[in-house]
């Protein structure tokens, strides 16, 4: 490799942190064109777009459709033809001569494709299934000259391994490496990204620019948070999180041979899309703000990208439905959120007044539809086949299912998506009713443990500087109110005791023996594991919801429903599964 003299070069980079829709090839292309036009007007040398920006991420089994791949290639060629002086790097699906598919990045300029990089490291863990679809790239990774600077391209996982292609790019003369990404959000993920990419910058003594996707796609949320690092691993620029924007960064790079230093001279926001109706000011500076932003982003995009405008929520006066209502208003605006109170013979007066007070604070309409007549009619209808009026669990679930029918009827009639209100602690333990409180289109709190629900509610009131969620809602004991005097802690351990055990069993994949060894009471550990295992069939029938933890139910955690493995250190007799709460 030829050694060049030390020199300082400047590069203007447009980081296009955009929100794409899986499968909307034409719409995605328009978003790229709009952002590229901003980059051109700003005099950018280089415009960066996220991983698979043409198709949206993840396209999943759309990749099995040859027509989809062909259409994506046609769009990629069209975008390449539109490029001018500004070089553009965007993600697309490339196809080999034998039909193999590649997760690819193209660098384009002057109306043509200048180089293509095929992703080398294909993640196949957690929510990722890239080895199901893609072939890993091979050969020498491309390095492209931009002015007097050599630039390499990497794609997401490529930069996570010290043995990845970044080193090869630097050895081939790269003085800057740009990384395009579709890295989904979970709590603490941004810090992990920065740490890993900083390691790579230091290892190769080369600055890197990291651009990430933003927006919601089914249960995944992409949080943006793009950044630039100098060769010492220090962050010199950051983009906003959970916000779609194009930012212009001027990089000043000190280069000797293939090793790059560098710093950013300034940041300028060129364009920013309004991501949501902002109910509360959030900067994502603490864990609760971060999770709140993720829940708002995921809810907004799931509703709007699936062509709904309004949502309906069963407001019980409890903490879960109150939090869902706040998130929905932040995502869509109060005029698009509708509450329904459905009191029963067991509902307390406070549940109705708390729901009404919350609706007033949020500025949403509230319908009140008592369920007593339907409850009585069903009870009479079932009395003969059941050998008496419904009692116990049967009667409790009947009330929940009546409420589900009401909400789905409003959905059918008004075109509103039903947002369910169950939290992760309830779904983990099966403390839910199939076709009742699980009936709906999107489960906002599906990955939010009950203790975090309370933390978020208190934080919301702190941000609002008033009791947006009534204090009485925060103080009352959690209850489904399906029988007289019912409380959650009559069926489950207290949530502050339950949630750490669930975290160990579900998210850390610990066995019961390991949980007991960590100091948890054996009876408690066995009970929680039994509840989680037996509720798997329920969770498979619940709607998708926002992923905020490193291991959510759904794509992350895939446990067989029919499963006789006991990790409790004892062989229990087989017991029939209870098909309801």
d(CA 576, CA 538): 15
- How many CB atoms sit inside 10 A of residue 537's CB? 13
H helical segments located in 368-449: 372-386, 392-414, 424-429
- Chain region(s) in the chain for CATH 3.40.50.620: 287-539
Question: What six digits make up the tokens of 183?
Answer: 């890295």
Q: What angle do CA 406, 411, 413 make, to 5 degrees?
A: 95
Question: May I ask the CATH class of domain 7-268?
Answer: alpha beta
Q: What is the pLDDT of residue 538?
A: 93
What's residue 281's pLDDT?
57
* E strand map for 189-305: 208-212, 214-217, 220-223, 227-229, 235-238, 245-256, 259-260, 263-272
| Residues 6+ away with beta carbon under 8 Å from 427 | 443, 446, 535, 538, 539, 542, 553
Closest-CA residue to 329 (of 415, 419, 242, 403): 419
What was the pLDDT predicted at 240?
93
Q: Is 156 a catalytic residue?
A: yes
What DSSP string runs through 314-383?
Answer: E--SSHHHHHHHHHHHHHH-GGGEEEEE---TT--HHHHHHHHHHHHHHT-EEEE---HHHHHHHHHHHH
Q: Please name the helix (run of DSSP H) or strand (run of DSSP E) that holds residue 143, with its range, or none.
A: strand 143-146
The yes-or-no answer on residue 119 being catalytic is: yes
Both structure tokens of 36: 């590229």
Contact call for residues 70 and 101 (beta carbons, < 8 A): no
Question: Which of 16, 108, 119, 357 is labelled catalytic?
Answer: 119
Per-residue model confidence (pLDDT) at position 458: 95
Active-site hit among 16, 108, 150, 156: 156
The single residue listed with the structure tokens 């709140």 is 292
User: Do residues 63 and 133 lie in contact, with contact meaning Cβ atoms separated by under 8 Å?
Assistant: yes
Identify the pLDDT of residue 145. Answer: 93
In the chain, CATH 3.60.110.10 covers 7-268
Contacts of 434 (CB under 8 A, 6+ apart): 538, 541, 579, 580
pLDDT in the model for residue 274: 54
Is 51 in the active site? yes
- Tell me how crowded residue 514 is: count the other CB atoms within 10 A of its CB: 15
User: Which of 16, 51, 481, 536 is flagged as catalytic?
Assistant: 51
Fold of 287-539: Rossmann fold (3.40.50)
> Along the 581 residues of the chain, how does pLDDT read in single tens digits?
344 445 668 899 999 999 999 999 999 999 999 999 999 999 999 999 999 999 999 999 999 999 999 999 999 999 999 999 999 999 999 999 999 999 999 999 999 999 999 999 999 988 889 999 999 999 999 999 998 899 999 999 999 999 999 999 999 999 999 999 999 999 999 999 999 999 999 999 999 999 999 999 999 999 999 999 999 999 999 999 999 999 999 998 776 544 445 555 444 556 566 544 456 655 677 889 999 999 999 999 999 999 999 999 999 999 999 999 999 999 999 999 999 999 988 888 888 999 999 999 999 999 999 999 999 999 999 999 999 998 888 988 899 999 999 999 999 999 999 999 999 999 999 999 999 999 999 999 999 999 999 999 999 999 999 999 999 999 988 776 667 777 777 778 899 999 999 999 999 999 999 999 999 999 999 999 999 999 999 999 999 999 999 999 988 888 888 887 765 444 443 444 344 44
The answer to whether residues 48 and 14 touch, using CB atoms and an 8 Å cutoff, is yes
The pLDDT assigned to 575 comes to 45
Closest to 506 measured CA to CA, from 478, 539, 542? 539
Cα dihedral: 532, 403, 325, 275 (round 10):
80
Look at the block and give the residue holding tokens 């060894």.
Answer: 517
């Amino acid at each position: 490799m030829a050694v060049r003299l030390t020199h300082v070069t400047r590069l203007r980079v447009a980081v296009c942190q955009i929100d794409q829709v899986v499968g909307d090839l034409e719409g995605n292309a328009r978003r790229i064109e709009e952002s590229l036009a901003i980059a051109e007007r700003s005099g950018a040398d280089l415009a960066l777009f996220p991983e698979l920006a043409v198709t949206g991420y993840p396209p999943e089994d759309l990749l099995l459709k040859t027509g989809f791949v062909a259409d994506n290639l046609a769009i990629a060629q069209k975008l390449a033809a539109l490029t001018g002086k500004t070089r553009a790097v965007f993600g697309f699906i490339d196809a080999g001569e034998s039909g193999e598919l590649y997760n690819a990045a193209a660098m384009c300029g002057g109306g043509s494709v200048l180089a293509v990089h095929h992703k080398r490291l294909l993640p196949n863990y957690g929510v990722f299934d890239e080895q199901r679809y893609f072939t890993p790239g091979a050969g020498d990774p491309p390095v492209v000259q931009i002015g007097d600077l050599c630039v390499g391209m990497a794609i997401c996982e490529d930069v996570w391994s010290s043995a990845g292609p970044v080193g090869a790019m630097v050895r081939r003369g790269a003085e800057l490496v740009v990384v395009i990404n579709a890295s989904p959000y979970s709590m603490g993920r941004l810090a992990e990204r920065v740490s890993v990419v900083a390691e790579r910058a230091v290892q190769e003594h080369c600055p890197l620019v990291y651009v990430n996707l933003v927006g919601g796609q089914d249960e995944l949320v992409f949080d943006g948070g793009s950044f630039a690092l100098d060769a010492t691993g220090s962050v010199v620029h950051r983009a906003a999180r959970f916000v779609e924007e194009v930012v212009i960064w001027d990089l000043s790079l000190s280069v000797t041979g293939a090793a790059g230093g560098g710093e950013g001279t300034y940041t300028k926001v060129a364009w920013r899309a309004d991501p949501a109706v902002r109910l509360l000011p959030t900067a994502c500076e603490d864990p609760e703000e971060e999770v709140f932003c993720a829940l708002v982003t995921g809810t907004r995009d799931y509703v709007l990208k699936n062509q709904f405008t309004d949502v309906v929520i069963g407001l019980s006066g409890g903490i879960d439905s109150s939090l869902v209502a706040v998130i929905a208003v932040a995502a869509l605006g109060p005029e698009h959120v509708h509450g329904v109170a459905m009191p029963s013979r067991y509902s307390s007066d406070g549940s109705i007044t708390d729901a009404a007070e919350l609706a007033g604070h949020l500025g949403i309409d509230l319908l009140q539809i008592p369920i007593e007549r339907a409850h009585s009619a069903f009870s009479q209808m079932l009395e003969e086949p059941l050998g008496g009026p419904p009692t116990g669990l049967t009667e409790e679930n009947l009330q929940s299912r009546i409420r589900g029918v009401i909400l789905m009827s409003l959905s059918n009639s008004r075109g509103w998506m039903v947002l369910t209100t169950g939290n992760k602690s309830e779904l983990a333990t099966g403390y839910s009713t199939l076709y009742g409180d699980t009936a709906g289109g999107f489960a906002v709190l599906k990955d939010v443990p009950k203790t975090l629900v309370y933390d978020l509610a208190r934080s919301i009131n702190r941000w609002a500087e008033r009791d947006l969620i009534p204090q009485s809602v925060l103080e009352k004991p959690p209850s489904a109110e399906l029988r007289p005097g019912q409380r959650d802690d009559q069926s489950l351990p207290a949530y502050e005791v339950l949630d750490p055990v669930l975290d160990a069993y579900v998210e850390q994949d610990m066995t019961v023996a390991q949980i007991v060894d960590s100091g948890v009471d054996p009876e408690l550990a066995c009970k929680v594991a039994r509840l989680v295992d037996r509720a798997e069939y329920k969770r498979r029938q619940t709607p998708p919801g926002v992923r905020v933890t490193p291991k959510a139910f759904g794509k992350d955690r895939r446990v067989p429903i029919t499963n006789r493995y006991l990790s409790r250190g004892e062989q229990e007799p087989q017991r029939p599964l209870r098909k309801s709460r």
